[in-house]
Structure 1
Amino acid sequence: MRFKKEPPFSHGTTAKIAVVLVNLGTPDAPTSSAVRQYLKEFLSDPRVVEIPRAIWWCILNGIILPFRSGKSAHKYASIWSKDGSPLKVHTEKQAMLLRGYLGERGHQLEVVYAMRYGSPSLPTILDKLKKDGCDRILILPAYPQYSATTTASIFDAVFSHYQQVRNVPELRLIKHYHDHEGYISALAASVQTHWTTHGRSEKLVMSFHGVPKRTLLLGDPYHCECHKTARLLAQQLGLSQDQYVVTFQSRFGKAEWLQPYTAPTIQLLARQGLKRVDVICPGFTSDCLETLEEIGIEVKNDFIHGGGKEFYLIPCLNEAPAWIHALATIAEEQLSGWPTRLSGSEVDAQKRLNDFQRAEATRLGA
């Protein structure tokens, strides 16, 4: 095996430390060609689709990519912002704010973001960190609940990348934070803020990303972690069991996925006479296609056509201060023991920079 060329080494330099916030990814543009390229990378991952490769190659290239790319591009176009893909915009801002919050707490390190699929790609970012002299790296997935289809795929990409590297940095990888106090509190704060502004529904629907049921039967803890998140959130909000429901969205193909499914559940609630429903997607830390279009447009239409009157999608955590504080705490806990501490004057300087970055994030529409 030939290893990648190592960057020039200079004696006396201090190795740097980095946090990499990794999200799923997004097409570069809401066009058929860009979406096709993105879907091909995403759906070619054996963690995502566990079908024999030869069979799946024919299905993917002969049926899915030719027919689904255009439809998906239309959906992306419906939620695309002036700054680009919402998921990418929010993830970039989260990384910027996370660096500032950690700096205010006295930590000196790099904080960058990467995408598992699409750009900026995880291998590209890891290469850049090596060139920048980072010898300790914390991988922070944007997925609170662990699944082999998401978190493990990030780990695969990290390990695969470093198989080509001679001098591998020290690595730490965060598996999950589905029950972390800061994360749950941030979710509760977002719901309570929404209720303060808009009032509240009789029913709160907590919709998580769907995965095939067979993954649960084969030992994936995702289903259990989603329910624990929901239970802890309900407890913090003071909800009884009949005041909320857990559902799963984004079915694909004919196989059974985790149930109950979001869309049919919303339709049933409308038929039962519920006139208003509030929906939150706790598994997504940034608004994206699956929240803004699938839930905010498609499922909303299902509810209204079923007889419902008011449908509210509670925004994802995005750049909410409570969430960035929680994210900083999650990272800080995992950075324990690494030499990240700033001097007092450096902390003051970082606070001034953080104030500027917050103002800039607000100006850009955070």
Structure 2
Amino acid sequence: MTLSPPADTARKIGVLLVNLGTPDAPDPASVRRYLKQFLSDPRVVEIPQLLWQPILRGAVLTTRPKKSAHAYAQVWTEAGSPLLAITKAQAQDLQARLGDAAIHVDYAMRYGNPAIPERLAAMKQAGCARILIAPLYPQYCAATTATALDECYRALAAMRWQPAVRTLPPYYADPAHIAALKTSVEAALAALDFTPDAIVASFHGMPARTYALGDPYYDHCLETARLLSDALGRPLIPTFQSRFGKAKWLEPYTDASLVRLATEGSRKVAILAPGFSVDCLETLEELAIRGKAQFIEAGGTDFAYLPCLNADTPGMAMLETLMRRELAGWV
């Protein structure tokens, strides 16, 4: 019986980047599987499952997959889902930046593939006796950060021999994050052929009830927007997108704000999404395509979506800084 990993791998350290997830393909069947997993998570939909599951399996999963598949098809790339392809690129770049043969960088998705249990098992099999789990959500929310860690802990609970684990804290106000956003936004603004009358910072929405229950997400988002506004030296308008269902969500809503800006005279607008670590359906389709259409239809003349940090140099330098900090004492 082998009681220890091989000598050449016993000291390996794992870094697991975790993001939300994506369907395997931009077709209704793949989207249905993805949405079923995603919307069955009680961290995401905080309605008793006995009440929610009939609604989910009925109206939601019979109508939404086709519509969502159409949206995914508009942003799908040769490398697949933008979220998956960019997260993979982040992992590869971070591996090169850390430059240590003892460190093994991998990536996983909370929903869909590659799955968290699969990648944690692979890291353990590769000899990673210590693993830093890094949810790529700058602002903490139970529906994102917590559920990603829940899934990691469930996978670890099934292991008789567990690795030592650390987790990346939320980095919404970290100077390295704000500096990376500043550099990225300034470069994107400099490349525009117009000067925005207003700049919108759109964050993913959450039901307002989550804030009342004590979730810090709303405050984290506003603090990111405030710090970035200070760093840029110009105001940002924080808004919240992607609301679903009839319940009240965090306000102001992004779509309504874009219409209001156009009708009130801000005809040139730039929008960024500092709550997303990589570009995905919610940024590339909801903001860059639908958001632009809504703004122009309301009377706007110029609209620009400013990309996420993605695997570009400012964002990767930030991730390297954060990972080295959290790996201190292990490396």
- Which runs of at least 4 in structure 1 moved beyond 4 Å after TM superposition? none
* 2:158 pairs with 1:161: no
Separation in 2, partners of 1:330, 1:295: 28
Superposition pairs of residues 59-208 of structure 1, within 5 angstroms: 59-103=55-99, 108-198=102-192, 199-208=194-203
Q: Deviations over 1:144-181 (max 9, x none)?
A: 00000000001110111111110111000113000111
Compared CA separation, residues 231 and 107, structure 1 to 2 (3 A):
farther
Separation in 2, partners of 1:12, 1:31: 46
Q: Which has the higher contact order (CA 8 A, sep 6+)?
A: 1
Q: Secondary structure at the match of 1:179?
A: coil
Would you say the 8 A contact 1:182–1:323 is kept in 2? no
In structure 1, the gaps of 5 or more residues are: 1-5, 341-366
Q: How many matched pairs?
A: 329
Deviation for aligned residue 1:191: 1.1
Which residue of the partner structure matches residue 220 of structure 1?
Answer: 215
Which residue of the partner structure matches residue 35 of structure 1?
Answer: 31
Structure 2 counterpart of 1:145, which letter? Q
Which residue of the partner structure matches residue 225 of structure 2?
Answer: 230
Separation in 2, partners of 1:62, 1:298: 27
Compared CA separation, residues 72 and 318, structure 1 to 2 (3 A):
same
Which residue of the partner structure matches residue 258 of structure 1?
Answer: 250
Separation in 1, partners of 2:56, 2:307: 32
In structure 2, the gaps of 5 or more residues are: none
Would you say the 8 A contact 2:201–2:271 is kept in 1? yes
Compared CA separation, residues 295 and 11, structure 1 to 2 (3 A):
closer
Deviation for aligned residue 1:262: 0.2
**Of residues 205, 208, 212 in structure 2, which corresponds to 1:210?**
205
Compared CA separation, residues 167 and 289, structure 1 to 2 (3 A):
same
Structure 1 counterpart of 2:205, which letter? G
TM-score by length of 2: 0.97
* 2:309 pairs with 1:317: yes
Would you say the 8 A contact 1:90–1:319 is kept in 2? yes
Would you say the 8 A contact 1:151–1:175 is kept in 2? no
Deviation for aligned residue 1:107: 7.1
Deviation for aligned residue 1:7: 7.8
| Root mean square deviation, CA, Å | 1.4
Compared CA separation, residues 10 and 88, structure 1 to 2 (3 A):
closer
Would you say the 8 A contact 1:7–1:130 is kept in 2? no
